[in-house]
Amino acid sequence: MENVLRPIYQERASNPNTLGIIMMEKKREISPETDNFDVILLVVVKEAKEDWLVKHYEFNEQSAAMHVVDEALLNEWINTSTYRRAMEWIINGRIIYDRNEYFQHLKEELRIFPAEKRKLKLAIEFAKLTRSYSESKDLYESGHYLDSYSRLLRSLHYLGRIAIIEKGYHPEVMVWGQVKRIDPEVYKLYEELIRSQEETKKRVELMLLAIEFALSARSTICSEHLLDVMKEKDEPWGFGELKVHPKLRSYLYDLSSMVAYLVDKNIIDVILVETKGEYIFHRKYVVK
């Protein structure tokens, strides 16, 4: 297959702007890792007019997709898990061109999974989990049990990804196979929710308690990234200040629910600051 595709990627390889090319081949008939293409070509470039260019090809009744990605965008995908397939291509794909061992170094960095990047990913998934959990709890209390169940499944998915990251691995597209190997306790929660014979209301009720326990147990380690930012200054933070902080951009949209949860758990304190309005206070936050 590589011989057939060589004319397509050789032009890219000869360009000094190209850092490396990886090939990921389809291993199963249904292949979410390759978007069901027979082969993926990932081409990383230093800079480009389009930060992500995709081209589809067909040959000998087979299909291929070439992704030409700007290095800065690829790093964002890696740091925030925005596009997890790209991570799998890098980890499991075969290097067919590597300028100055760019992909070799990247593969090694992903294998090591540095602590700072792990902190960020834990915070991203934890922030999503706090929002999804609070939505599920609210729906349950409102009597919308099926909707609550649906949010619980999403919550368990975030919890599964947290369990994988805690053990020093990157979550894959098919996360539950990983969870089963890495954290059987979290996998058991997932099985209990989907296989329980209890009525939906009871199933949701029990699972809300289990997720609340799992959340509470992980709240300190998963909030470390946010708490480190908040410790950068001694004064309390307004939420608006946190919202625009560049280090928190990756979980900006779930930051409010994360802060609310940490306040509830007495990990963050609320400081009330007077305003010009009588009996109205600014609500600010500080690490307890």
Domain limits for position 63: 2-112
Tens digit of pLDDT for each residue in 63-117? 999 999 999 999 999 988 889 899 999 999 999 999 999 999 999 999 899 999 9
Tokens representing residue 146 in the block: 């099926």
Q: Does the pLDDT value for residue 33 go beyond 70?
A: yes
Last residue in a domain, options 59, 83, 112: 112
The values of phi and psi at residue 70, to 5°, are -65, 140
Name the amino acid, one letter, at 110.
L
pLDDT digits (tens, 9 = 90+) for 87-99: 999 999 999 999 9
The residue among 112, 137, 155 that closes a domain is: 112
pLDDT score for 1: 65
**Per-residue pLDDT for 128 more than 70?**
yes
Q: How far is the CA of 152 from the CAs of 52, 100, 132, 221, in angstroms?
A: 34, 46, 7, 22
Q: What is the mean pLDDT of the chain?
A: 93
**Based on the domain organization, do 146 and 30 belong to the same domain?**
no
Q: Under DSSP, is residue 83 helix (H, G, I), strand (E, B) or coil?
A: coil
- Whether residues 107 and 119 share a domain: the answer is no
From the list 252, 169, 176, 258, the residue with the least C-alpha distance to 219 is 258
Read off the pTM: 0.87
Q: According to the model, what pLDDT value does residue 172 have?
A: 80
pLDDT (tens digit, 9 = 90+) per residue, 185-234? 999 999 999 898 899 999 999 999 999 999 999 999 999 999 999 999 99
User: Residue 246 carries which DSSP code?
Assistant: G
- Angle at the Cα of 118 (from 116 to 121), degrees rounded to 5? 115
Among 61, 86, 112, the domain boundary falls at: 112
User: Are the C-beta atoms of residues 95 and 104 closer than 8 Å to each other?
Assistant: yes
